Amino acid sequence: MSHVHATPVSHLTDPGSHGAGPEIDLDAALSELRAASPLVQCLTNIVAANFTANVLLSAGAIPAMVDNSREARLFAGAANVVLVNTGTPYPDTAQAMTEAASGASSAGHPWVLDPVAASLPWRGQIALDTLRAANPTIIRGNASEILALAGEASGGRGPDSTDEAHAALASAQQLAAEHHCVVAVSGPIDLITDGKRVVSAANGHPWMTKVTAVGCALGALMAAFAAVCEPLDAAVAATSLLCVAAERAAAESRAPGSFAVALLDQLSLVSPAELAAAAKVHDVEA
Amino acid sequence: MSHVHATPVSHLTDPGSHGAGPEIDLDAALSELRAASPLVQCLTNIVAANFTANVLLSAGAIPAMVDNSREARLFAGAANVVLVNTGTPYPDTAQAMTEAASGASSAGHPWVLDPVAASLPWRGQIALDTLRAANPTIIRGNASEILALAGEASGGRGPDSTDEAHAALASAQQLAAEHHCVVAVSGPIDLITDGKRVVSAANGHPWMTKVTAVGCALGALMAAFAAVCEPLDAAVAATSLLCVAAERAAAESRAPGSFAVALLDQLSLVSPAELAAAAKVHDVEA
Amino acid sequence: MSHVHATPVSHLTDPGSHGAGPEIDLDAALSELRAASPLVQCLTNIVAANFTANVLLSAGAIPAMVDNSREARLFAGAANVVLVNTGTPYPDTAQAMTEAASGASSAGHPWVLDPVAASLPWRGQIALDTLRAANPTIIRGNASEILALAGEASGGRGPDSTDEAHAALASAQQLAAEHHCVVAVSGPIDLITDGKRVVSAANGHPWMTKVTAVGCALGALMAAFAAVCEPLDAAVAATSLLCVAAERAAAESRAPGSFAVALLDQLSLVSPAELAAAAKVHDVEA
C-alpha cells in the first residue's frame, strides 16, 4: 500500500470527514470500563501472566487466570469475557483454550484471540482450533502473526515481528470477514478492521517493544473493553489507552525498567477525557 | 455479626484488656524471621510466582518454587515450610500439592493452604485433597474462598471476593476446629482465628487489591512466619507486616505500579519495632 | 584453594601480565550484542520467565519462551541460541529441554544449561539428559549446582547456595573438560573456566541475591552473548554486564524493589565503554 489517507475519527475530531465511520467515543469507553470492572478470564502465557493481570487491574478490570482444561469452559460462562493467548501453550492449557473459546461463545460472552507466534505449527493449529470452536470477537496480533493465521508466509521470527502492520492488512480484512470479527494488527501504527472499515491508531512509544508482554497485555485490554463496547470500539479503545499511557509513561521514565512501572501507573491515572484528547485515531482509506 | 468489639493485643497495647489472648510479639516475630531466613517451598500459580518470591526475599525468607509431582514430597522434607496455593493448578501441579502437604506433615514441618478460587469445583477438590492428606498449619483466603472451602455458597467471582471477612467468620472457626489449624480471612479488616480466639488486623491500603498476587504473597508470608512462630502469631505477623508495609508504600506512591515496587522496598525496610508500633491488631469479641 | 592470584584481563588492563589469557573485549562484546539483537529461545521457569525476558530486552536481545515439547526442537533451529533452565520443570517442559538442546546442537547453534537446584534427583537427571543430548556451550550455576551436576555432595538447599564459587572450581573444570564447554560458577566473586583457563569476575552487589531470578537472568544473558562471542568471552561479558549494571542500580536504589527496576534500566543505559571500564575481570592462577 503506497499511500494511506486517514481521516480522524476520535472523540474530538470532525465527525463529518469524508469516509469516516461512526465516531469512537473513547471517553465513554474508558468510563464504562472503570464503572463495570469486567471479569476477564485470561488463558495466557507464563511470561505475560503477572504483567497482564496488573495491566487489567490498573485499567479498572478484574483478571482471573483460569487456564486449565478442567475449569476453562465452566469459568468462561461466569467471566464477562475470555482472552486466549498462545504464548506458551502446553498440552493441558492448549485444550483449555478451545474449551474456553467454546464456553464463552455458548454463554454469549465475547472472547479475544491473541495468536502469539502463530507461525509455529503446533500453536498455529491451536489458534485455528479455537477459531473452529467459535468465532472470536477480536483477533489481535502483530503483522507476522496475522499473516500466519491467514495462511500467508511472513518474515516474523517467533514473537518478534519484522513486518509492518500494513503488510498484513489484506490478511486482517480476510480473517475479519471469514470469522465475523474485528482484527487488530499491532505495529508502530496499529490498524484495526472489521473487514470493511479500517481504523489506524498512531499513539505509542518504542519502549513498548523493550518490555516483555506489552503486546499480550494489549490483547487482554481489548478483552476488557469488549465486555463493555462494540468490538471495533473495544480494539481501538484498548490500543489507544495502552499507547497513550505509554507516551505519558515514557515522558517520565529513562529506560525500559522504570517505563514499565510508570506504564502501570499511567493506566490507572489517565482520565477518560485525557485519553480522548490524546488519542490519534483515524479512519484509513486505501 | 452486627457489632464487633475489639481489644488490642499487639505489642504496645495493654495486655490486661478484658478478653484479650496472649500478647502477640510482632517485634520478636519479624526479628526471628530475618534471623532464621526460613526456606519456603512454594507451590503457587503462574501469576504470583515471581512476586511471591520477591516478597519472601524482601521480608527475609528464602523461596523455592518446587512444584512438580516428582520432587514436591521430597523437597517438603528439606524445606522449613510449604505453601500450597491453588491459583493456577494443572494436572501435575495438582498432584504435587497433595504430595507436598503430606510430605511437610510427615516431616513435622508446617504448611499453609491458600485455596484460591476454591468455589471452582476442580480446585476446590484439590484443596480438600490436600486437607485430607494432612491438617494444615494455616488456611488463608478471602471470605468467598473460606466459605467455599467450608461448603458454603458465596458471592465471590473467581479470585475476587465480594464478601467481607466477617461473613466468613463462622466458616473460618468451623474449619479451624475441624482441621486443628488457624484460619485467616482477608478483607479490608482481616480476621484470624484458631477456632476459639479471633484476632482482627486492621492495617492495609486499597491499592493492595490493585496489584495482582498480593493475597497470594500474604499466604507465602504466613508460611515464612509459621517456620518461626506459633500458627496464630504467624498469621497475624504476616498480615501486619504486609499491611503496614503497604501503608508505608502507599504514602510514597501515586498509583498501583509504583506502589508494588515500594511495597517490596518497605517489606525490607520496615524494622521489627516499627512493625509492632504501627500494627492495629486486636482481639475480637462477638 | 588457599590463595588465588589474579591478573587482570579486562579491556583496559595490561595484556602482557604473566599468566593472563587473551584479552576479553567487553566493549566489543556488548556492542556486538546490541547490533545483532540475537533471538534467544528460553526454556526457563515460571518464576524467572518475565524477568528473564525483560533482562534480555533491556540488554539488547530478543527473548522467545518456546518451551513445549512440540515446538522446542523446531524453534531451536530458528533461534540464534537456546537457554535451558531447570527451575520449575514439568513433564512436558522437561522433554522439551532435551529436544531444544539437541535441536540447537544439530543446527550448530550454541546453547546454555542453567541446572537450577540440580541436587534434586529428577531435575538433576533432566540436566544430565540434556548434557547427553548435546554438549552445551556454557553451563552456569551456583557452587551447589555445579557440584551436584558433577556428582559431588554440597551444602546447598534448593536454589540457595551455601557454597562459595571456589569450592566448586575443581568440579567446574572437570565438567568443562568432559563436555568441551565453559562452566561459570556464580557467587560473590564469579569464576568462569573452559577447563584450563580460569577467569574471575568481581563486580556485583548483595541485593542481587534479594531479587528472585537474577541468577536465571544471568544464564539468559550468557546465552545472548554466546550468539555473538566465543563461549568464555560470552560468560564473562554476561557476568560483567549484569554485575556492573547491578552496582550502578544499587547506587541509586534503597531496597530490592527499586533495585530490580533500576537494574533493568541500567542494563539498557550502560554503554560498552562504561562496561569495559567498570568490569573487574582477572585471570586466576591457583
Residues B63-91: tens digit of each pLDDT: 999 999 999 999 999 999 999 999 999 99
User: Which pLDDT score is estimated for B6?
Assistant: 46
Rounded CA-CA distance A75/A84 in Å is: 13
| 3-class SS of residue C181 | coil
End-to-end CA distance of chain B: 7
pLDDT, tens only, A29-73: 999 999 999 999 999 999 999 999 999 999 999 999 999 999 999
Kind and range of the H or E run holding A186: strand A182-186
Please tell me the predicted confidence (pLDDT) of residue B5: 43
Q: Which residues of B touch C148 (CB under 8 A)?
A: none
Q: Per the CB < 8 Å rule, is A65 touching B45?
A: yes
C-alpha–C-alpha distance, residues B147 and B183, integer Å: 11
Strand ranges (E), chain C: 5-8, 39-43, 62-64, 81-85, 111-114, 138-142, 182-186, 190-193, 198-201, 281-285
Contact B65 C51 (CB under 8 A): no
C-alpha cell at B285: 469479641
C31-81 pLDDT, tens per residue?
A: 999 999 999 999 999 999 999 999 999 999 999 999 999 999 999 999 999
Report the alpha-carbon distance of residue A34 to residue C181 in Å, rounded.
55
Could you count the other beta carbons within 10 Å of the beta carbon of residue C105?
Answer: 19
Which of C230, C235, C226, C134 lies closest to C183 in space, CA to CA?
C235
The number of C-beta contacts closer than 8 angstroms across A and B is 102
Is the Cβ pair B123, A62 closer than 8 Å? no
- Record: contact B64-C160, CB cut-off 8 A: yes
Nearest chain B residue to A37 by CA: give it. B160
For residue C10, what pLDDT band results from cuts at 50, 70 and 90?
very low
CA distance A226 to chain C (A): 26
Lowest mean pLDDT among A158-167, A274-283, B242-251, C119-128: A158-167
Q: Interface of chain B against chain A, CB under 8 Å?
A: 45-51, 87-91, 117, 120-123, 157-160, 209-213, 254-258, 260-261
- By CB atoms closer than 10 A (0-12, 13-18, 19+), residue A167 is buried
A114 close to A91: Cβ distance less than 8 angstroms: no
Q: Is residue C83 part of a domain?
A: yes
Q: Could you give the percent of chain A with pLDDT greater than 70?
A: 89
pLDDT at residue C5 in the model: 43
Domain count, chain C: 1
Cβ distance of B210 and A57 shorter than 8 Å = yes
Residue C164: per-residue pLDDT: 83
- Tell me which residue in C39, C71, C268 faces A256 most closely, judged by beta carbons: C268
Q: How many angstroms from the chain centroid is the CA of residue A239? A: 7
3-class DSSP state of C193? strand
pLDDT mean over B267-278: 98
**Which residues from chain C sit within 8 angstroms of residue B39, using beta carbons?**
157-158, 160
Helices (H) and strands (E) in chain A, counts: 11, 10
pLDDT band at A140 (very low <50, low <70, confident <90, very high): very high
The band of C161, judged by pLDDT with boundaries at 50, 70 and 90, is low
Q: How many residues does chain B have?
A: 286
B28: three-class secondary structure by DSSP: helix
Q: Residue-wise over A244-271: b if at least 16 C-beta within 10 A, else e?
A: bbbbbbbeebebbbbbbbbbbbbbbbbe
Helix (H) or strand (E) holding B129: helix B121-133
Calculate what percentage of chain C has a pLDDT beyond 90: 86
Q: What is the pLDDT of residue A21?
A: 81
- Measured between beta carbons, the chain A residues lying within 8 angstroms of B262 are none
Give the domain range for residue A181: 5-15+24-285
CA separation, residue B49 to residues B16, B73, B128, C47, C110 (Å): 42, 19, 22, 5, 29
Q: Do the domain assignments include residue C276? A: no
User: Alpha-carbon distance B251 to A104, whole Å?
Assistant: 41
Residue with cell string 499491532: A186
- Which three cell numbers mark B48? 504470583
Chains meeting B at 3+ CB pairs closer than 8 A?
Answer: A, C
Number of helices (H), then strands (E), belonging to chain C: the values are: 11, 10
| pLDDT tens digits for range B172-190 | 999 999 999 999 999 999 9
Q: Average pLDDT, stretch C170-174?
A: 97
Q: How confident is the model at residue B165 (pLDDT cuts 50, 70, 90)?
A: confident
Indicate the length of chain C as a whole number. 286
What b/e readout covers B216-243, taking b as 16+ CB neighbours within 10 angstroms? Answer: bbbbbbbbbbbbbbbbbbbbbbbbbbbb
What angle in degrees, to the nearest 10, is found between the helix axes of C91-106 and C121-133?
20
pLDDT in tens, A175-197: 999 999 999 999 999 999 999 99
Which chains share 3+ C-beta pairs under 8 angstroms with C?
A: A, B
Give the range among A165-169, B82-86, C117-121 with minimum mean pLDDT: A165-169
B75 chain-C contacts, CB cut-off 8 A: 120, 158
What is the chain C residue with the closest CA to A51?
A: C50
Structure-model confidence comparison of residues A154 and A275, the more confident one: A275
C-alpha closest to that of C9 among C197, C181, C228, C196: C197
pLDDT tens, position by position, B14-46:
443 445 688 999 999 999 999 999 999 999 999
- Taking the CA atoms of residue B25, residue B29, residue B30 and residue B36 in that order, the dihedral angle to the nearest 10 degrees is 160
CATH number at residue A175: 3.40.1190.20
Q: Nearest Cβ partner of B91 from A46, A67, A92? A: A92
The pLDDT value recorded for residue A19 is 55
Mean pLDDT throughout C193-216? Answer: 98
Chain C residues closer than 8 Å to B68 by CB: 88-91, 122
Among C45, C65, C85, C90, the strongest candidate for a mutation testing the B interface, having the largest count of B CBs within 10 A, is C90
Whether C281 and C191 have beta carbons less than 8 Å apart is answered as: no
Tell me, yes or no, whether C197 lies in a domain: yes
In chain C, what residues touch B93 (CB-CB under 8 Å)? Answer: 90
Please give the annotated binding residues of B, written as ranges: 65, 140, 186, 213
User: Which residues of chain A does B158 touch, with a Cβ-Cβ cutoff of 8 Å?
Assistant: 39, 41, 62, 64, 66, 75, 78-79
Minimum-distance CB partner of A46 among C41, C49, C260 = C49
Contact A53 B212 (CB under 8 A): yes
Chain A interface, mutation test: which of C62, C68, C82, C269, most A Cβ atoms within 10 Å?
A: C68
Buried/exposed code over C126-140 (b: 16+ C-beta within 10 A; e: otherwise)? bbeebbebbebbbbb
d(CA A223, CA A83): 6
Question: Which band of pLDDT confidence, cut at 50, 70 and 90, is reported for residue A273?
Answer: very high
Q: For residue B155, what pLDDT band results from cuts at 50, 70 and 90?
A: low
The Cα of C157 is separated from the nearest Cα of chain A by a number of Å equal to 25
* Closest-CA distance of chain C to residue A123, Å: 8
For the cut 70, the answer to whether the pLDDT of residue B279 exceeds it is yes
C153 Rama sector, left if φ>0, alpha if ψ -120 to 50, beta otherwise: beta
pLDDT digits (tens, 9 = 90+) for A229-238: 999 999 999 9
pLDDT band for position C155 (50/70/90)? low
Task: Please list every residue in chain C whose beta carbon sits closer than 8 Å to the beta carbon of residue A157.
Answer: 39, 62, 64, 78-79
Closest CA to C242 of C257, C229, C255, C223: C223
Interface test with B, best of A39, A62, A70, A269 (most B CBs within 10 A): A70
Q: Taking CB atoms and an 8 Å limit, are B261 and A261 in contact across chains?
A: yes
Closest CA to B139 of B232, B22, B203: B232
The CA distance from A54 to the nearest CA of chain B, in Å, is 6
Average pLDDT value over all residues in chain B: 92
Predicted confidence band of residue A285 (pLDDT cuts 50, 70, 90): confident
Q: In this structure, how many other beta carbons lie within 10 angstroms of the beta carbon of residue B35?
A: 9
- The span from the CA of C221 to the CA of C29, in Å, is 12
pLDDT digits (tens, 9 = 90+) for B109-148: 999 999 999 999 999 999 999 999 999 999 999 999 999 9
What is the pLDDT, as a whole number, of residue C15?
40
Judge: C65–A87 Cβ closer than 8 Å, yes or no. Answer: yes
Q: Cα distance from A90 to chain C (closest Cα, Å)? A: 6
Task: Tally helices (H) and strands (E) across chain B.
Answer: 11, 10
pLDDT of residue C286: 59
CB contact under 8 A, A158 and C62: yes
CB contact under 8 A, A260 and B255: no
Domain-located, residue C260: no
* Dist. CA B201–CA B279, nearest whole Å: 8
Retrieve residue A16's grid coordinates: 463529518
* Residue C271 main-chain phi, psi, to 5 deg: -90, 160
**Residues of chain B with pLDDT > 70: what percent?**
89
Q: How far apart are CA C165 and CA C149, in angstroms?
A: 14
Mutation test of the interface with chain A: which of C44, C93, C259, C268, choosing the one with the most A Cβ atoms within 10 A? C268
- Between chains, do B212 and A50 touch, taking CB under 8 Å as contact? yes
Pairing state between β B5-8 and A281-285: unpaired
**Helical ranges in A79-149 per DSSP H:** 91-106, 121-133, 143-149
Residues from C in contact with A at Cβ < 8 Å: 39, 41, 46, 49-50, 53-54, 57-58, 62-68, 70-71, 74-75, 78-79, 90, 92-93, 260-269
* Chain B residue with minimum CA distance to A70: B122
